[in-house]
Chain A
């Protein structure tokens, strides 16, 4: 019995090996690639975002923002038609990669928009740029996409980097008279970068960081951290979340433990985003946060957009919606400038040379790393005339770059932010 197995096994193995050697010589036909972005007057956009899984809410909102723009302006830019193909990456890097492959190889898309989560974006970026396809990032805040891993075919269209959007927070905290801060951030890249932004600016201004708390992914119960914050002698708490349930959970716990009146709080964009406010708006009223997006900002561009979104979806737009919308606007303007015959590089060049007088975020332009430079707002949660809670700016920091006041080259010499390199 054993002998016949081994004989058969050997037979199969040998024939397989032989077959493979033969095949190695003959390559199957490869997929063709064309040079210009819009063939036959249509630009195909591959839109990657999570619509199932834990971050489905944010992924769906990103899509809504994108679609809203095209609904308002029509799906054409001059002579060019923009066709979007949506794929679900489920918040998973491997799925994101497969879907990116499908979009590029099967659907032959000309531009990739998304994905949302930082890890999925980094996974996909390598592949997409190697395939020579331009990509626009609507929401991803991963610092490195426009720093150590920046690429001429990649533009962060609709969001700021994690550290960039929080630098002004540190500055503001100091200007408000705070000198000792305690921070609470998620224990992974987004959290490290966000906290580092605040910490760098705060310490550069002269403040001191009393303690830094890091909460692991999947934390359900914030009471240990809030209890620690209760015992601290800091005069301000800076709290970050990546959106989702962390924001409401934290606000609720902060309130339950009576800290709302005891310890001034500054949060990042996403802890005070609409997802939080829809859930615990009452408890959040009066809390300050720092972000590039403020849905309560009194500007025609913003309020027009807010009204349009509210009519279509019945709620106020979050940062994900704004990112999707702005990215669509960026693509439209880039196509206008570059035209349908543009190559991938030309398209991104056109995009990065856009100067908005008044975008959703205010006056906006892009730096040589393809990252936005623009205002950052200190916002406060207020109740609007419809009884909803939203973020209204109380202070504006103009022209914030991803390098803050530091020299880009020096900045990039330093290692990426993590638990040890926290910006101090």
Chain B
């Protein structure tokens, strides 16, 4: 039997590497200037949205290209409440209510669809939200948006806000991992593999999809709240189709179904959008070429490619060093690295 990732392992990267990364992330405000700190915070927020998309895409092969609509709804809830003089706690409460409501609408409309149709439903919903941000201009400020939405005083400084984003991101990723490893996660993956089998086993496919959408929506809504606090401003651009599409791109570029993939994708795309664009006028071309390169050379995303590489290195080392521990014969390379499925003992 090949060396599968040990069931129960929280992480697939060596623990040390992870801690080092976290330590680096924590050290950032002491090392980098405020502008870069704010870009990183943006990357974390993008990563949060990407993680919410990844939850549905990885666990259920449901790619939502309208999640920015959920995030934007939460952002506008905060903005509206702020403009009407409500305190931060109320703003958050309203954001939660709105997020749940919008996610529920997404869920109800999409729970009986899958594949390309799910993509289209979420696209339509995202565009409806976008249209509403223009239409309900009394509430949303129309095209001009709502400025002057101040952060809570405890995170007023960018470096404090950065830590908030980092903390929220880490907690969200952990929470999503817990969901993934839970029995509910098993059900979701079961639905991904065969809806008919699951429904014949007595599971309500639609209800489970609905719940998954709510969970994913809550993460997206959190991203929305953080984004409006980052910019201290919200406008229809937050619900733009491009935002949703970029979230999907981040997931694909990083690696669908992996927890790290969306974060890497978010870092890459955010970096290109904000840092590369300063130095390269044709940055959309460069970004497009990067996408093409990723598809050609890393079709499982960057994380997938890294894993394949690690697997190949490990096998070649085993072959060279200890012929008797060579377990690679007949093993498809991807199986050893598939953290998503390897945890399920009943596969």
A and B in contact, CB less than 8 Å: yes
B297 at the interface (CB under 8 A from A): no
Bound form: Cα–Cα A212–B138 in Å = 19
Per-residue CB contact flags for chain B residues 262-292 toward chain A (1 = under 8 Å, else 0) read 0000000000011001100101100000000
Contact of A98 among B145, B238, B274 (CB under 8 A): B274
For residues 232 through 256 of chain B, which have their beta carbon under 8 Å from a beta carbon of chain A?
Answer: 232-233, 235-238
**Number of chain B interface residues as a range:** 35 or more
Is there a chain A Cβ closer than 8 Å to B203's Cβ? no
Q: How many residues of A contact B (CB 8 A)?
A: 53
Does A220 sit within 8 A of B, measured CB to CB?
A: no
Grouping DSSP codes into helix (H, G, I), strand (E, B) and loop, the B interface class, with mixed when no group exceeds half, is helix
* Binary flags per residue of B153-170, CB closer than 8 Å to A gives 1, else 0: 000010110010001001
Q: Does B178 contact A (CB under 8 A)?
A: yes
Q: Which of chain A's residues have a CB closer than 8 A to the CB of B232? A: 126-127
A30-B34 in contact given A92-B237, A94-B231, A188-B143 (Cβ < 8 Å) = yes
* Chain B residues closer than 8 Å to A19, beta-carbon distance: 26
B8 at the binding interface (Cβ < 8 Å): yes
Interface: B39 (CB within 8 A): yes
Is A312 located at the chain interface by the 8 A CB criterion? Answer: no
B220 at the interface (CB under 8 A from A): no
| A23-B181 in contact (CB<8A) | no
Cβ-based interface call for A395 (8 A): no
Judge whether A28 and B29 touch: CB under 8 Å: yes
Interface residues of B in 120-153 (CB under 8 A from A): 134, 137-138, 142-145, 147-148
**B1-39 vs A: 1/0 string, CB under 8 Å?**
000000110100000000000100010011001110011
A326 at the interface (CB under 8 A from B): no
Q: A1-B8, A30-B34, A142-B144 are in contact. Are A98 and B39 (CB under 8 A)?
A: yes
Stretch at the interface among A6-14, A228-236, A281-289: A6-14
B306 within 8 A of A: no
- Mask, A13-36, CB within 8 Å of B = 1, is 100100110011001111100000
Which residue in B143, B181, B231 is a CB contact (below 8 Å) of A189?
A: B143
Stretch from A66-74, A100-108, A169-177, A314-322 that touches the partner: A100-108
Q: Annotate B105-118 by CB proximity to A: 1 below 8 A, 0 otherwise.
A: 00000000000000
**Which of A9, A92, A216, A418 is close to B10, meaning CB atoms less than 8 Å apart?**
A9
In the assembled complex, the Cα of A119 lies from the Cα of B231 at a distance in Å of: 13
Q: Is B171 an interface residue (CB 8 A)?
A: yes
23 A/B residue pairs, CB under 8 Å, sorted by A: A5-B177, A12-B174, A27-B159, A28-B30, A29-B30, A87-B278, A88-B278, A93-B237, A94-B227, A94-B231, A98-B42, A98-B274, A99-B278, A101-B38, A105-B33, A105-B34, A105-B35, A106-B35, A118-B144, A119-B143, A126-B147, A188-B142, A418-B142
**The 9 nearest A-B residue pairs measured at CB:** A188-B143, A1-B8, A28-B29, A105-B35, A8-B10, A123-B233, A28-B30, A4-B8, A106-B35
